[in-house]
Amino acid sequence: MSFVNYDQDGAVAVITINREKALNALNSQVLDDLDTTLNNVDTDVVRCLIITGAGPKSFVAGADIGEMSALTKEEAEFFGRKGNAVFRKIETFPIPVIAAVNGFALGGGCELSMACDIRIAADNALFGQPEVGLGITPGFGGTQRLARLIPVGLAKQMVYATTNIDANQAKACGLVNDVYPQEELMPAAKKLAGKIAKNAPIAVRHCKQAINEGLDLNMDKAIDLEAKLFGGCFESGDQKEGMDAFLNKRKHEPFQNK
């Protein structure tokens, strides 16, 4: 039995972390299942992914504290690297990934959401990094991504003082783009994913690569990277169709991903 469900509907697919009785906490098996699920996404067809948690209460309540409690230093480092490898796979996944945060996003849950390109949240979402209260640091990227996404002082407060922030506070500091009543979250995620999926897939992929890799470069190198990726779009039929449609004042045909 897998702890991860995968539902594909045309160009949009939903990954659901499904370990509801433990509030979708990430143990080694959940991480392995998530990794396998990602490896099996048909990115020739799927153009946008959504990640959410099973049930009404929790996105992901963190890494599994029971499993971590007995780890040695070496085993803990291995576990941290394992989670980081899966989350980095999401961050560098060729297509955009939306986190639909439906409740607790604590520790590894907040970290999972931050590996995604875009976060939207239900009004019951709660974000936090409670690790120092357990005697550990965040281990799946929390010390790195949070301070890159929100003001560094707020990130440090969340990490040092274990201050949680609710959905509206997360929106106010830019951690999430929008907040919805619980029942409207998945429809909103699917609507946004559908909108992304309708745009030229090669261009969208190039945008993800340009934004993510460019953030780690100085501006000269970053705009050079953009120039290459911009140029690369001109080998695609979708560029020809998109521009021809504009110039001939017609609606473009569905983009072909080539």
Q: Which residues bind ligand CAA (CB under 6 A)?
A: 22-23, 25, 61-66, 83, 104, 106-108, 111, 130-131, 134, 138-140, 142
- Identify whether the C-beta of residue 91 lies closer than 8 Å to the C-beta of residue 42: no
Q: In angstroms, what is the minimal distance from the CB of 123 to ligand CAA?
A: 17
Q: Which is nearer to ligand CAA, 66 or 153 (CB)?
A: 66
Locate 114 and state its tokens: 């931050």
Q: Which is nearer to ligand CAA, 8 or 18 (CB)?
A: 18
Beta bridge mates, 60? 105
Q: In angstroms, what is the minimal distance from the CB of 140 to ligand CAA?
A: 4
Q: In angstroms, what is the minimal distance from the CB of 164 to ligand CAA?
A: 9
Q: Which is nearer to ligand CAA, 66 or 250 (CB)?
A: 66
Is 131 an annotated catalytic residue? yes
Q: Which is nearer to ligand CAA, 127 or 255 (CB)?
A: 127
Helix/strand/coil (H, E, C) string of the chain? CCCEEEEEECCEEEEEECCHHHCCCECHHHHHHHHHHHHCCCCCCCCEEEEEECCCCEEECCECHHHHHCCCHHHHHHHHHHHHHHHHHHHCCCCCEEEEECCEEECHHHHHHHHCCEEEEECCCEEECCHHHHCCCCCCCHHHHHHHHCCHHHHHHHHHCCCCEEHHHHHHCCCCCEEECHHHHHHHHHHHHHHHHHCCHHHHHHHHHHHHHHCCCCHHHHHHHHHHHHHHHCCCHHHHHHHHHHHCCCCCCCCCCC
Q: Which is nearer to ligand CAA, 96 or 138 (CB)?
A: 138
Active-site residue (options: 91, 111, 183, 184): 111
Q: In angstroms, what is the minimal distance from the CB of 85 to ligand CAA?
A: 13
Active-site residue (options: 20, 91, 131, 213): 131
Q: In angstroms, what is the minimal distance from the CB of 134 to ligand CAA?
A: 6
Q: What span, in angstroms and rounded, lies between the C-alpha atoms of 201 and 206?
A: 8
Which residues does the annotation mark as catalytic? 111, 131
